[in-house]
Amino acid sequence: MEHNIKKLISEMTLEEKASLCSGLNLWQTKPIERLGIPSITMTDGPHGLRKANKSDELGLNNSVPATCFPSGSALAASWDRDLVKKVGEAIGEECIAEDVQILLGPAINIKRSPLCGRNFEYLSEDPYLISELAANYIKGVQSKGVGTSIKHYAANNQEDYRMTVDVKVNERALREIYLTGFEGAIKQSQPLTVMASYNKVNGVYATENEHLINEILRNEWKFDGIVISDWGAVNDRVAALKVGLDIEMPGSGGEEDKKIVEAVKKGQISEEYLNLAVERILNIIFKAYENKKKNQNYDAERHHQLTRQVASECMVLLKNEDEILPLKKQGKIAIIGELAVKPRYQGGGSSHIVPTKLDIPYDEITKIAGNKAEIKYTPGYELEKDEVNNKLIEEAAYIAKNSDVAVIFAGLPDSYESEGYDREHMRVPESHNKLIQAITEVQPNVVVVLCNGSPIEMPWIYQVKGILESYLGGQASGGALQKYYLAKKIHAGNLQKLFQENLETIHHI
């Protein structure tokens, strides 16, 4: 259906125009029924769909079940454009099924520091890798008629003080490091929206930053979609509108709309700025709305199997002395670590997903081994506690000593990395380190499976024979691990970020 946008704008009141520039609620744009302007729905990503359930408006605890794909740090380790595009296509299908028109992703901020609490969600420290994978993710999602929102623009590289921090960066570093991923992805794939971040850049909030939004994004890169704010990121609505921020999210109950109307009436801002924003908004609303496909379901099992395939391509074999992996299909295998039965497969915060299904690593290993190998499990530590439990370590050491090989699941618990705060160090819980140390003293054949979204210190690296970085590999990562245990041949991913030996070796922090 063709829409005469300019004619539509001419028929709108000032108040109606202003109303389009902020959300109806947490997730939807405002409709104008008398003019046939519909509302569209946005929801969080990026490694799956987090649509709020009616019982939980934010959707943080009880969102609609969706496929939890590998997080950004895992996905980037595949270094595979086509694989990432397939993930985007699958997420797009789920958006259609759940009546979502805009997915808030991908998240592509550069990994400046290993301590950023949201590193698990981001792709890499390499701007080129970021741009290539983000572009294909966007192409995948948008090929299904669903829009994306590339985020967080720009220089949002820490969680501590993210709403107030002033990022001081010279123009060369800004262009070559912090904006390159955005530039490449936007030029290649034209996402429908760009999300402006909370922080300041060189003294000006990103949502009000003329240099970032008008000069670079719109004029240089020729971006013709809409710019939306991160949720609650706007500090001066009129200033933000003037530099090209189109939609403030979430809704403010009309309070911010009134500020726009008042500013236009007082001559503080030309109505032309508002008209330009409304024109961009209407173009995207109608484009997104017309791509809706009602009563369309997705194949949850097919998506689960895709997740398993993707996760298996994303794991990185950091060490494989004496070719200890893949494991032999017979003998005694000790599976140690509570993460083997309570897997950590995603990070915390706005990207947290209620999975459609969940593979448990221990169950999957037992399943493929059958009666060919004798497998024993012991927890070794208490996942939700930092304290060392010597009794659990002693039990684990006894089982490991009487086995042919010990596979230890270790890494970062949920509380160690999440949106909203940064890590203070790169260490895993001391209970994990003590466990690994104790096992290596009684068993020469030790494999450590890491479950984490960011680099960690590994003081035991020279005492173990195998290290497999599984990252946060999504709901099917437990099944994906089968390939590394009992397969005939291993094909692993590659690191997307340098693993420093310790924090002291990083000079910029």
* Contact call for residues 150 and 109 (beta carbons, < 8 A): no
Closest CA to 67 of 82, 86, 54, 40: 86
Please compute the mean of the pLDDT values over residues 19-28 and round it to a whole number. 96
Please compute the mean of the pLDDT values over residues 366-391 and round it to a whole number. 92
Considering only residues 330 and 266, tell me which one the structure prediction assigns the higher pLDDT.
Answer: 266
Query: Tens digits of per-residue pLDDT, 57-83?
Result: 665 668 999 999 999 999 999 999 999
Please compute the mean of the pLDDT values over residues 105-120 and round it to a whole number. 96
**pTM for this model (two decimals):** 0.95
In whole angstroms, give the CA distance from residue 205 to residue 183: 20
Binned at pLDDT 50, 70 and 90, residue 495 comes out as confident
| Confidence (pLDDT) at 507 | 62
| Confidence (pLDDT) at 491 | 60
Binned at pLDDT 50, 70 and 90, residue 2 comes out as low
Which one of 80, 230, 246, 257 is the catalytic residue? 230
Please compute the mean of the pLDDT values over residues 12-18 and round it to a whole number. 98
The span from the first CA to the last CA of the chain, in angstroms, equals 53
Q: Which domains does the chain have, with CATH numbers?
A: 5-291 (3.20.20.300), 316-492 (3.40.50.1700)
Give whole-number Cα distances, 60 to 11, 63, 66, 266, 457, in Å.
Answer: 39, 6, 13, 41, 30
Listed in sequence order, the residues at least 6 apart from 507 whose beta carbon sits closer than 8 Å to its beta carbon are none
Query: Tens digits of per-residue pLDDT, 150-208?
Result: 999 999 999 999 999 999 999 999 999 999 999 999 999 999 999 999 999 999 999 99
* Contact call for residues 451 and 344 (beta carbons, < 8 A): yes
Query: Tens digits of per-residue pLDDT, 437-468?
Result: 999 999 999 999 999 999 999 999 999 999 99
Considering only residues 217 and 488, tell me which one the structure prediction assigns the higher pLDDT.
Answer: 217
Please compute the mean of the pLDDT values over residues 2-31 and round it to a whole number. 94
Neighbours of 333 (CB within 10 A): 25
Residue 23 sits at φ, ψ, to 5 deg, of -75, 155
| Confidence (pLDDT) at 487 | 55
| Confidence (pLDDT) at 97 | 95
Q: Give the chain's mean pLDDT.
A: 94
Please compute the mean of the pLDDT values over residues 298-319 and round it to a whole number. 96
One-character DSSP codes across 167-215: E---HHHIIIIISHHHHHHHHHH--SEEEE-SSEETTEEGGG-HIIIII
Closest CA to 30 of 86, 38, 464: 38
Q: b vs e for 218-257, b when ≥16 Cβ sit within 10 Å of the residue's Cβ?
A: beebebebbbbbbbebbeebbbbbbbbbbbbbbbbeeebb
In whole angstroms, give the CA distance from residue 500 to residue 343: 25
* Contact call for residues 136 and 185 (beta carbons, < 8 A): no
**Which helix (DSSP H) or strand (DSSP E) does residue 286 occupy?**
helix 271-290
| Confidence (pLDDT) at 53 | 78
* Contact call for residues 325 and 468 (beta carbons, < 8 A): yes
| Confidence (pLDDT) at 496 | 78
Catalytic status, residue 236: no
Please compute the mean of the pLDDT values over residues 462-485 and round it to a whole number. 92
